[in-house]
Chains A and B, each alone.
Chain A
Amino acid sequence: MSVLTDRNVLVLLAAIPLLIAAGPIMPDWVRFFLQVSLASGLAVLGVVVQMRAGLVSFGQGLYYCLGAYAAGMTGHFVGVTDVFALLGLGIVVAAGVAVVLGFLMSRYREIFFAMLSLALSMILYGLLVKAEVLGSTDGFNLPKATFLGLAPTEQALRFAVYALTCAVTLLAAIFLYRYLKSPMGRIGEAIAQNEIRVEYLGSSARTVVHITYVLAAALSGAGGALAALANGHVDPEMANWTTSGQFVFVALLSGTGNVAAPLIGNFLLEMIRVYAVAWSPYTWQLILGATMLLVILFLPGGLWSLVERRKAGG
């Protein structure tokens, strides 16, 4: 089946110009949340692609933060301000680190994988908190970005970065959609079910896990860089377990059956969070945790499974 005859691909493709065109109509704050949630949605997709292979990452914030800091530090210290260069750097740094750490991580599954990913992200968090040159817990601001050598006005730049975020996120979603249907994606799922069989068929489970891990890191790194550009600011909180926890939460809640659901879920969650945190600052994790328990107990396929079920039913 060719890419362009796949209805789901077409829908995702069509969403790019629609979202970009809707940008100027949207109130600024809605557009901002959409932009930030699409960026962090990339990290959620990173969690999703690993979850499909049976790997739960409690530390995806590691790569989200690496992408953001790579972009931020290059802008702040080197003075490179082009958004494409910063985005590319974010991806390359995150993926590069994942290639190395992947040699350790690809040996592990299940609880070991979960806990090691958490430990790795907390090491980065600890380092950044202690790094005074990087502003410790406060982080630092990015210089004003440029777009392909142009230095547009503040307003135009904001829109350009918004458009870029929409395009990158949805293209990544399309890629992921294809990936999950491809042999490697299917073997990833097969590993989650029966790794021994995968090996006996003659495929290397470790290689597939390693590649999946790097892919997830690249997605998260892109998300981090885009988030840094959106906020104009980075701080260590991006590597903290609470950030990673929210990624897992969205992945679990949206289910891993669909690549658009985590993006939509992430947007809704960002919106809810703003109000919830303003209304009662110390109940956000509590709400997340309690919802997570209910979903695990009653909706193993995530909230999206309700939509699917309705479709199947009628």
Chain B
Amino acid sequence: MAPLLEARSLCKAFGAVTAADNISVAVAEREVVGIIGANGAGKTTFVNMVTGYLKPDTGSISYQGRDITRLGPRATARTGICRSFQIPQTFARFTVLDNMLVALNVARKRDLFFWRPAHDAELDAVAQGLLAGLGISGHRDQIAGTLPQGVRKILDIAMAMVSAPKVILLDEPTSGISTDEKHAAMDTVMNALGERGVTILFVEHDMEIVERYAGRVIAFYDGRILADGAPAQVLSDADVRRYVVGGELHRRQPRKGVA
């Protein structure tokens, strides 16, 4: 079967730093792929290239057989590839509901409507349903900027899910969430996405979470792909243990928001 999303030989350098060195990844529909690697290994660069925030220096990306290498974030999102962010990107002065309503109006191509109100009973209900599905409907009327980090990360994912994407890239969905809440949050998110049949790529530092959800793991190191395959196989790979997982074990607390 032809892959749904395929990156071929992506290279990207920032000055002297090579952030992506010949990255090739093919993802099939409904696959759940965990991406691991130490900080600076090139994981976020990869996500940024696939979603159009960065243009690769060389290489190409195709989605459903269509070349999307040169598309920016907006056009990429419209093809059905959405993402969440390591630092959650929300509208900090809006309530959670208003955040969702903006996303819903855009998803329904009403973004240039200028007379009818942005919210109505039907949209409110849809938003409410999505929030409930992710377990944060209790925060509906809270201002996004005042949310606890964990809830803001879920809201960020919820906004990405509004347009019913076929592929979603989650950039460290559990970073900044306390250890005891991580699993519950991840369960909810992965279930919601799974129900919708979304293809998932997620960047993660917590190997327990990777093992639990990923059907396949890709290990990044120094801008290259070190290993790519079944979780058990990749996580037991000697190089991966040495350069990636070992590093993870020695990491103290996961760093807050910034990285």
Interface range on chain B (Cβ under 8 Å from partner): 35 or more
A203: Cβ under 8 A from any B Cβ: yes
Which candidate, A33-41, A95-103, A185-193, A283-291, is the interface stretch facing chain B? A185-193
A24: Cβ under 8 A from any B Cβ: no
A interface residues, Cβ below 8 angstroms from B? 1, 178-179, 181-187, 189-190, 193-194, 196-204, 207-208, 211
Q: Are A183 and B89 in contact (CB under 8 A)?
A: no
Q: Which 7 A-B residue pairs are closest in the complex by CB-CB distance?
A: A183-B105, A202-B77, A197-B89, A203-B111, A203-B106, A201-B106, A193-B91
Q: Are A202 and B117 in contact (CB under 8 A)?
A: no
Q: Are A184 and B111 in contact (CB under 8 A)?
A: yes
Q: Are A184 and B73 in contact (CB under 8 A)?
A: no
Q: Are B74 and A199 in contact (CB under 8 A)?
A: yes
B98: Cβ under 8 A from any A Cβ: yes
Q: Which residue of A lies closest to B105 (CB)?
A: A183
63-112 of chain B: CB within 8 A of chain A: 72-74, 77-78, 82-83, 89-94, 98, 101-103, 105-107, 110-112
How many A-B pairs have beta carbons closer than 8 Å: the answer is: 99
30 A-B contacts, Cβ less than 8 Å apart?
A: A178-B114, A181-B118, A182-B113, A182-B114, A182-B118, A183-B105, A183-B106, A183-B112, A183-B118, A184-B112, A185-B114, A185-B118, A186-B98, A186-B101, A186-B118, A187-B111, A189-B93, A189-B94, A193-B94, A194-B90, A196-B53, A197-B159, A198-B106, A199-B74, A200-B74, A200-B89, A201-B103, A202-B74, A204-B111, A207-B112
Majority SS at the chain A contact face: helix
Knowing A184-B114, A187-B102, the reply to whether A204 touches B91 (Cβ < 8 A) is no
Q: Are A202 and B163 in contact (CB under 8 A)?
A: yes
State A211–B113 Cα separation when bound (angstroms): 11
B116: Cβ under 8 A from any A Cβ: yes
Q: Hey, which chain A residues are within 8 Å of B115, CB to CB?
A: 178-179, 182
Q: Hey, which chain B residues are within 8 Å of A1, CB to CB?
A: 117, 120
Q: Mark B149-182, 1 if CB is under 8 A from A, else 0.
A: 0000000000110110000000000000000000
State A201–B110 Cα separation when bound (angstroms): 12
Contact among B89, B94, B117, B162 with A181 in the assembled complex (CB-CB below 8 Å): B117
Knowing A184-B112, A186-B118, A190-B102, the reply to whether A201 touches B94 (Cβ < 8 A) is no
B44: Cβ under 8 A from any A Cβ: no
Q: Hey, which chain A residues are within 8 Å of B90, CB to CB?
A: 194, 197
